[in-house]
């Protein structure tokens, strides 16, 4: 069983959760289950669950260490609207979730192989009803803008750690989403050269 000592801490999650929360408030439905793909430490989902008590929040991650941290965070805050975390690999052909009212994915696609992005779109297509949102957050390359110096350095660092990682071209991500049944995206500029990208299931 997880305990408080299993809780991991992400400084980035503490910095960006307020800005993300503001965007989520404008796109999430009033009720239903929100699946977070790649929940990481679990800090985001407990923050969002506290802010939106009418929604049921389903965390997930492929990492056993992350699953322990998520469980520990859930236990520490005592929220009733957060489910037990599920082991879920975005790239897998099947997910342990059959339906959701929304899918949220924060800071995953640049630290995973492209197959994870394809799997994310494929899985979200399966479980979302028409009109339901798919929310992405993170740094992206944009065709019409030069990459910021901080993101250029971050991209090089990621590729140095794993050649399959790196900042994705937003147009390619959008093309992948559209090919899996999503409408064109809406982009919101976020602090620290990040973006919120919202797709809707067609």
Rounded to two decimals, the pTM is: 0.95
Question: Which residues on adjacent β-strands are paired with residue 113?
Answer: none
CATH class of 4-200: alpha beta
pLDDT by 10s per residue, the chain, length 202: 456 689 999 888 889 999 999 999 999 999 999 999 999 999 999 999 999 999 999 999 999 999 999 999 999 999 999 999 999 999 999 999 999 999 999 999 999 999 999 999 999 999 999 999 999 999 999 988 999 999 999 999 999 999 999 999 999 999 999 999 999 889 999 999 999 999 999 9
Q: What are the sequence ranges of the domains in the chain?
A: 4-200
Q: Output the CA–CA distances (angstroms, integers) from residue 87 to 69, 96, 100, 114, in the order listed.
A: 13, 8, 16, 19
């Amino acid at each position: 069983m997880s305990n408080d000592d299993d809780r991991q801490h992400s400084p980035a999650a503490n910095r960006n959760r307020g800005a993300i929360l503001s965007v989520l408030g404008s796109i999430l439905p009033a009720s239903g289950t929100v699946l977070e793909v790649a929940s990481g430490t679990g800090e985001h989902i407990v923050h969002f669950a506290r802010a939106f008590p009418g929604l049921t929040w389903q965390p997930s991650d492929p990492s056993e260490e992350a699953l322990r941290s998520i469980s520990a965070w859930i236990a520490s805050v005592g929220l009733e609207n957060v489910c037990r975390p599920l082991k879920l690999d975005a790239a897998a052909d099947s997910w342990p979730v059959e339906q959701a009212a929304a899918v949220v994915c924060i800071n995953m696609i640049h630290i995973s192989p492209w197959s994870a992005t394809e799997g994310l779109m494929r899985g979200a297509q399966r479980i979302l009803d028409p009109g339901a949102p798919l929310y992405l957050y993170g740094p992206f390359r944009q065709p019409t803008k030069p990459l910021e110096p901080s993101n250029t350095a971050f991209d090089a660092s990621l590729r140095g750690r794993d050649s399959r990682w790196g900042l994705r071209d937003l147009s390619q991500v959008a093309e992948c989403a559209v090919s899996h049944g999503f409408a064109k995206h809406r982009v919101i500029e976020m602090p620290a050269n990040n973006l919120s990208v919202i797709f809707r299931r067609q």
